[in-house]
Each structure stands twice: as structure tokens, then as C-alpha cells.
Structure 1
Amino acid sequence: MDNPHVPRISKGMTFDTDIAIVGGGLNGPALALALAQIGLKVTVIDALDLKLRKNAKFDGRSYSLAHASMRLMQGLGIWPVIADDAQPMLEIKVTDGRAGEGPSPFVMQFDHAEIEEGPMGYMVEDRHLRRALLDAVKSTPGITQINGTRVVGQEVDANGITITLDSGKTLRARLIIGADGRSSGTGERAGIKRVVQGYGQTALVCAIDHELPHGGVAHQFFMPPGPLAILPLKGNRSSIVWSETTQNAARIHALPDADYIDVLRPRFGSFLGQISLAGARFTYPLGLSLAHEMIAPRVALVGDAAHGMHPIAGQGLNAGLRDVAALAEVIADAQQRGEDIGSDAALARYQEWRRFDNTSLALATDSFNKLFSNDNPLLRAARDLGMAAVNALPGLRRSFIREAAGLSGELPRLMQGKPL
């Protein structure tokens, strides 16, 4: 029996939807909302069931939204929904050292007071951001959701693309956008190759309750096995992203909760008083995944589908959201000029805008991780002196702050606080 929510194939120059977005995580719904603002019909195809996506239970997962990304959320109408649950990041402190020995005296400290725009960013729990995006998608005219369904084929012709779902149904669109993660099926079906490199590291992710207030300060503590990020959440609670060698991470993750905290405590220190686990624990293998191209005929990739990077600077989601804002702007401008929004020329402008920045950021996080995730005494001395030098130079420090806030480079209109 036909599913009434799945459009039927159309022939010739007619389309079931203007744009099909594959992937219902965060970037996909954000892009759908942006495109709906300019009157396009958008279909979001998600392999996961909607109830799983919208699970509102606290589990400790959270994201660092740079200031520019917050502006994007304002432009999409999402920010008013999540603002009360977002923790401003007022300072970032970067230190180097070994577990149990405390940090070295050399530190980089970034204060939001050094820029005019306000907090450098905000920590937002996954459950709040995801639900707000999905609720907005559901209530926005022009957006169709197809959940619990996979794309198994895509065929490009001169006028559009025909997409085949695992149900056997087909969908006709002008353009398909892959927001379907590091192993993007959209990119693979389009013949886009990628560089994949493992780091031999795994991220241990959790949230903790702590005795003392964090003051809106985010900490990045570099240790030989990998960095530990302590990121402030609402209340006396912080998100932990803790990188270890893959072997150590597997051993630590297998421990009971109390023993897990015992391993974390000497790495964490006592500056926030007593700590305890809050919510679930997760692990994520770390590596570099970089698509050779961000586009193919009638195909564009955003977020992790185009570039997966080390979480060392917390910029993964922000880079994806900048893709979203840039691609939406390119499509809006093409539409205004009467161009084919899925044409090679339009998509080339998107790739030209975003490819260099994404590659540079991915390689920078790769290099930074290799520089800091070791115990070489010469490298330790060099990086400690480097951090001290950055901290002592106001102009250089301010440029780092603006970079962390997502305010450097050629910003898309939505990230400037302007409409599409």
C-alpha cells in the first residue's frame, strides 16, 4: 500500500520537491528552514525514526555554538526557543600538562570582553537544539519530512535528479544535499572520494555535576594521550570531551561509573570541587574525513558529509552551520537571478566559498592535535612558549577570540544577522 507521505515520481520538467536533503540530524533541518524562508519546497529524508530524533531525555551530549552560529539560529527563529537553556561561554582557558600534575604555568586565556559582539559562544545541550529544530521543521510550510527511510539510489539528468528510497518510491528534485555524516551515502553515490585518517584516539563524552560554579569558563587541558575539554552547561554542570588512545578509552569506558570518575578526577583536578557523573557516557572514534569535492552534478555536501575533523577546537558543528548558511545564500542568490538552483555554476560558487576554509580548519585541527598529543620535551617547551606569546599579544589574542566566535572570514548573511 502506498505511503501518502512519500511523493510520487514526476515526469519531464516537473518536480516533487525543489531540494531533497538527506540527513535529519542538525545541519539538515537547519538548511531546510533556511531554504523554506525563500519559498522553496524542501524534503528532508532521515533514516532515523522521528521519535528517536526527538528524545528529550538528558544524556550529557552538548554542542558549542559560536557567536556567528547563534546569529544563524536567530535568523531561523530557533534561538528564542533555546536561549534560556544555553550557557554563555565568557572565557576560554587553554593549558598543557600531565594527568595528576596539574597544568603548566603557561596559559592562553581568551575573554569575551575583548570583542564587542558579546559571548564567544554558547553551550547548548543536544536535546534542546535538536528538538527545537525538528519542531520548527514540522511547523514550517513548504518542508516535508520522510522519516525511517533510506536513500538507495540517485540518478542525475540534465534537468534534475531522481532519488530512489528503500521503500521503492522515487522522488524528483532539482538538487540533492547530503547532510548524512562522514560515511555520506549521498557523496558516495555521486562518486565523490574522500581522505580518511584515524588518529588512534577515542573521545570519551559525558556530563558531570560539580560542587562549585564554573563561571561560564571553558577549559581545554592538553595531555600526552589527548586533550580534555571541560565545557560549561547550565547550573553546576559541565560537558566533558576527553580524548585518550583507543586502547585506554575502551578500558576506561568499560569501567563502572564510580571507577570511571576515579580515572577522570586526577585529569580534571579539584578547581570545581567534588564531581559526579550526570547522565549517560558515550565514546566516539576520532579521525579526519575530508571529501575531495563538496559538489557533484546536482549534488552538494554539508557538515560532516564534507569534512569531519578532530573536536579539539569544538568547531565541527560550527563549520557545518557555516556550510548551511553559505549554501542557502548561494541558492537564494541563484534563485533571485533566475538561475537553475542546482546548476554546476551555482554549486561551484558554494564550493569556492567553503572548500578552502573547511580544508584549512580540518588540517589545522589535525596539526594541533599532533603537536599537543605527545610528551616530547622539545615540543612541550615550544608549545608552552607559543601559548605564552599568544597570551601576551593583545592583537593576536583578539584574532584568536574572533576565530573562536566564528566572526572571521567571509561571513554568510545569516551569520551576520541579516536575512537571506
Structure 2
Amino acid sequence: MDNPAPPTILADMSDISDLLIVGGGLNGPALALAAGQAGLSATVIDAMPVDKATAHDFDGRSYALALASQRMLARLGLWDVLEDDAQPMLEIKVSDGRAGEGAAFLGLHFDHSEIEEGPMGYMVEDRYLRRALMQAMGATDLIRHLPDTKVTGQQTDATGVSVTLDSGEVLRGRILIGADGRQSGTALRAGIRRTGWRYGQTALVCAIAHDRPHHGIAHQLFMPSGPLAILPLTGNRSSIVWSESDDAAARINALPDEGYLTALRPRFGDFLGEISLAGDRFTYPLSLSLANSFVAERLALVGDAAHGVHPIAGQGLNAGFRDVAALAHVLAHAQRRGEDIAQSDVLARYQQWRRFDTATLAGATDIFNRLFSNDNPLLRAGRDLGMKAIQSVPALRRGFIREAAGLTGDLPDLMRG
């Protein structure tokens, strides 16, 4: 019997990428662009069709980018494209709240004028950020983008990595990057397990239009059922990330639009006037999920493939971008020194840099969610007094502002001013 024909293998040296990146959401393309600046080639394997990734219609999804993330996008040459559609976050107000009562009197108020660097961050809609990344990849000779393509297998040997695509084609590279989300097939195939748990909460995500201007102020209200974030978009619009118990969220999301708004209004309050939906509605089950290792042989994980945290501080994408900047930093410096970018001690530098930070972030968001997602009167009084104490100490307050802006810790090259 004849042997079956082997899969097509791109063995020509010109077809071997330095980085094989699985995942074409936001972190994967950003890493490809960052690697390109260091002279490293990348192939981005993207399960999403290109027309969906570059859609022009607003679907309600937006991101709170810390100042450090904005710096990275600027260094990658994207900010000139994004700036006109980005809303600066000039203030952040944090307070306890109850449905029908609005914000409690005691709380935190962070103002960007207390630091020298500028706005603490920017709100950017998904459609603009995703399209900018796609266009930048298309304009770079060092990047090959494969949309509507899935990975079905991967293999590592002493000289590189191979991935098998759903077409049967096999790609070859020096290092494999998993940027394919919390259910990362890249991590699973490498034998990397995860630690985490569900919160019994679901995030209801949408955008709203409102009568009154928001003045660039972001609000974080801690309701007994979970946090409610009101984040300013361009114009008289805001992004809503609203956490409820799984059962309550399912009931609310099943309502027609007007019923959905009726449930939101008493939680939201009337400080921005009348509200209406702008774009689609989404739900996301909330959980904590950490990969037990961020690296394996010739492999590294970034973004949600490495860590998924509660959105209570809006740091999910920012943590992913910090992974991207840190990994690009490590790989670029290794390349300049003539090291094999995929050798274990190079990847260990990346893991050492990012694992402690992400574990700290995961722990902090977990504690804050458990502390604030209840209506225990003793805990409520204690946390209100704690916020008042922070508010009354300028140095402590500025520390929190710099933390929110992503300016603390050891910053990678791409995130430095």
C-alpha cells in the first residue's frame, strides 16, 4: 500500500518566521508589530475572517487603555491613526453604591492633573483599534497574516517549532507564541494547565448615549451585586461594564432593549441625563484564570492565554499589552546579543518579569471583588473609611493614579516615555 502524501511543509528559509503567533485579536498583532521593529519576522495565524476584524460599524465594545499602553501604541506607529477617535480619561471617581441611591458620599477621586505625564489613559473603541492593527500588519513586509485559519497541531524540536493548519499546511518558526485567549489551544497542546475559578458573576457590556457630557470622567461604582464601570467615549457616549450574579445577568440580558435600560437606570443614576443604547449588548462570564507557566520549550504565552482577571480595574488588555512589550523587549535584546531568542533562559527572563506582576494583579482584583461585591454593613463602613483615608493623603493618591496609568514598576522599552 502506498504511503499517504506528507503535509505541505514550508521548508524554504524565506518561509520560516522568527515568531509563529497563534491568535489575531489584539495582543497577537501588537506583538508582531513590536517584533518587526526589532527586525524579527512573524506569521500571525488568525481564526477570525478579515472582514469581521476590519468592520466599520460600532458594536459597543471598547477598551480602557492605560497611559503606558498608549505609549506602546505610539511607539508602534498606531497612535496617529487612533488619536482622533480616542477619549482621554481625565478623572476617575470610585465609590460605593446601591441601586436607586447613586454613589455614596465617601469615595476616591483621581485627577490626571496630579501627575505630570498627562491623561491617565484613553478609551478606544474595538473597531478602531482592531482596524489600525490590521492595517499596520498589512503595511509591514516582516509580517504574514493568515486570517480565517486555525491551528490543529504543534510540534517542537531542537531547531524550531512547527504548526499544522486546518488546511493541512505546516508552518515553521523559531518560537511559538500563544495569544489565543483563555481557552488557549497553544497552551493546552504544550501541556500547560491553568489555575482559577468562576466568580458566579457575569459582565453585561454595552455602550450608551446620554444627554449630558461626561467631561472625560470614568466612574467605578461598587454595587452589592458587583462593580459597575461607566467609562467615557467620544461625544456624549459611555461604555458600560456591569457585573451581576449569573442568574440576574441572564434575566437582564434576555430582556428587550427598553427592559434592559430599565434595569440599568437605577444602578446608573441620572447624572448624565436620559440614556439609550448605542451598539450591541454582550455578556462575559467572569472568572480568574492563570496559566501555571507562561513559557515552555520554544513557546511563550501572552494576554488571556497567560492570565485572565476580573474586569474590576479594567486592566485585562493593559496586562496583555504589558506582556507584549515585555516579551518584545526580551526578544529584541536577546537578538542584539546574538542569543537564540527561543532558548529557555531567554524565555525565563520574560516569565520572571511578568509572572509576579500578573499574579499580584489577579490577587488584587480577586480581593477587591470579594470585598466590594456585598452589602455587609461592617465591610461597607470599613471600605468607605479606607477610601477616605487614601483620598486624604496626596502621596498615596498620586501612587494610585500612577498605578492606574500603568507607570509603576519596571517598564519595557515600548512603554517608557
Residue of structure 2 equivalent to 1:101 = 101
- Secondary structure at the aligned position of 1:232 is classed as strand
For residues 183 and 350 of structure 1, what CA distance do their matches in structure 2 show?
A: 21
For residues 31 and 24 of structure 2, what CA distance do their matches in structure 1 show?
A: 10
Residue of structure 1 equivalent to 2:390 = 390
For residues 37 and 205 of structure 2, what CA distance do their matches in structure 1 show?
A: 35
Residue of structure 2 equivalent to 1:89 = 89
For residues 8 and 357 of structure 2, what CA distance do their matches in structure 1 show?
A: 37
> How far off its partner does 1:152 sit?
1.2
Residue of structure 2 equivalent to 1:201 = 201
Residue of structure 1 equivalent to 2:34 = 34
Residue of structure 1 equivalent to 2:11 = 10
- Secondary structure at the aligned position of 2:182 is classed as coil
**Does the CA contact (< 8 Å) of 1:27 and 1:321 recur in 2?**
yes
Correspondence 1:8-87 to 2 at 5 A: 8-10=9-11, 16-87=16-87
Paired residues in the alignment total: 411
- Secondary structure at the aligned position of 1:182 is classed as coil
1:253 aligns with 2:253: yes
- Secondary structure at the aligned position of 2:94 is classed as strand
1:315 aligns with 2:315: yes
Residue of structure 1 equivalent to 2:281 = 281
Q: For each residue in 1:69-117, what CA deviation from the matched residue of structure 2 results, as whole angstroms up to 9, or x when unmatched?
A: 0000000000000000000000000010211022221110000000000
**Does the CA contact (< 8 Å) of 1:15 and 1:174 recur in 2?**
no
Residue of structure 2 equivalent to 1:159 = 159
Residue of structure 2 equivalent to 1:3 = none
Normalised by the length of structure 2, the TM-score is 0.97
Q: For each residue in 1:266-293, what CA deviation from the matched residue of structure 2 results, as whole angstroms up to 9, or x when unmatched?
A: 1000111111111111111110010011
For residues 219 and 364 of structure 2, what CA distance do their matches in structure 1 show?
A: 19
> How far off its partner does 1:9 sit?
2.9
- Secondary structure at the aligned position of 1:104 is classed as strand
**Does the CA contact (< 8 Å) of 1:8 and 1:16 recur in 2?**
no
Unaligned runs of 5+ residues in structure 1 are: 1-5
**Does the CA contact (< 8 Å) of 2:8 and 2:168 recur in 1?**
no
Aligned amino acid, residue 86 of structure 1: A
**Does the CA contact (< 8 Å) of 1:227 and 1:243 recur in 2?**
yes
Residue of structure 1 equivalent to 2:3 = none
For residues 58 and 133 of structure 1, what CA distance do their matches in structure 2 show?
A: 17
For residues 261 and 17 of structure 1, what CA distance do their matches in structure 2 show?
A: 49
For residues 126 and 103 of structure 2, what CA distance do their matches in structure 1 show?
A: 30
1:403 aligns with 2:411: no
**Does the CA contact (< 8 Å) of 1:46 and 1:149 recur in 2?**
yes
For residues 105 and 334 of structure 1, what CA distance do their matches in structure 2 show?
A: 52
Correspondence 1:129-278 to 2 at 5 A: 129-278=129-278
> How far off its partner does 1:17 sit?
1.0
> How far off its partner does 1:7 sit?
8.2
For residues 16 and 377 of structure 1, what CA distance do their matches in structure 2 show?
A: 61
> How far off its partner does 1:14 sit?
8.2
- Secondary structure at the aligned position of 2:205 is classed as strand
Aligned amino acid, residue 173 of structure 2: A
Q: For each residue in 1:366-386, what CA deviation from the matched residue of structure 2 results, as whole angstroms up to 9, or x when unmatched?
A: 111000001111111111111
**Does the CA contact (< 8 Å) of 1:224 and 1:372 recur in 2?**
yes
For residues 79 and 212 of structure 2, what CA distance do their matches in structure 1 show?
A: 28
For residues 229 and 344 of structure 1, what CA distance do their matches in structure 2 show?
A: 41
Residue of structure 1 equivalent to 2:128 = 128
- Secondary structure at the aligned position of 1:191 is classed as coil
Residue of structure 1 equivalent to 2:4 = none
Unaligned runs of 5+ residues in structure 2 are: 1-6
For residues 102 and 218 of structure 1, what CA distance do their matches in structure 2 show?
A: 15
Percent identity at matched positions?
66
- Secondary structure at the aligned position of 1:174 is classed as strand
For residues 211 and 161 of structure 2, what CA distance do their matches in structure 1 show?
A: 56
> How far off its partner does 1:36 sit?
0.8
**Does the CA contact (< 8 Å) of 1:63 and 1:123 recur in 2?**
yes
For residues 79 and 102 of structure 1, what CA distance do their matches in structure 2 show?
A: 36
Aligned amino acid, residue 195 of structure 1: T
> How far off its partner does 1:196 sit?
2.6
Q: For each residue in 1:243-302, what CA deviation from the matched residue of structure 2 results, as whole angstroms up to 9, or x when unmatched?
A: 000100000001111111111111000111111111111111110010011000010000
For residues 278 and 101 of structure 1, what CA distance do their matches in structure 2 show?
A: 25
Q: For each residue in 1:177-200, what CA deviation from the matched residue of structure 2 results, as whole angstroms up to 9, or x when unmatched?
A: 000000111111111110131000
For residues 135 and 71 of structure 1, what CA distance do their matches in structure 2 show?
A: 19
For residues 32 and 186 of structure 2, what CA distance do their matches in structure 1 show?
A: 17
For residues 99 and 7 of structure 1, what CA distance do their matches in structure 2 show?
A: 60
Q: For each residue in 1:185-225, what CA deviation from the matched residue of structure 2 results, as whole angstroms up to 9, or x when unmatched?
A: 11111111101310000000011110100000000000010
Aligned amino acid, residue 296 of structure 2: A
**Does the CA contact (< 8 Å) of 1:287 and 1:308 recur in 2?**
yes
For residues 83 and 333 of structure 1, what CA distance do their matches in structure 2 show?
A: 30
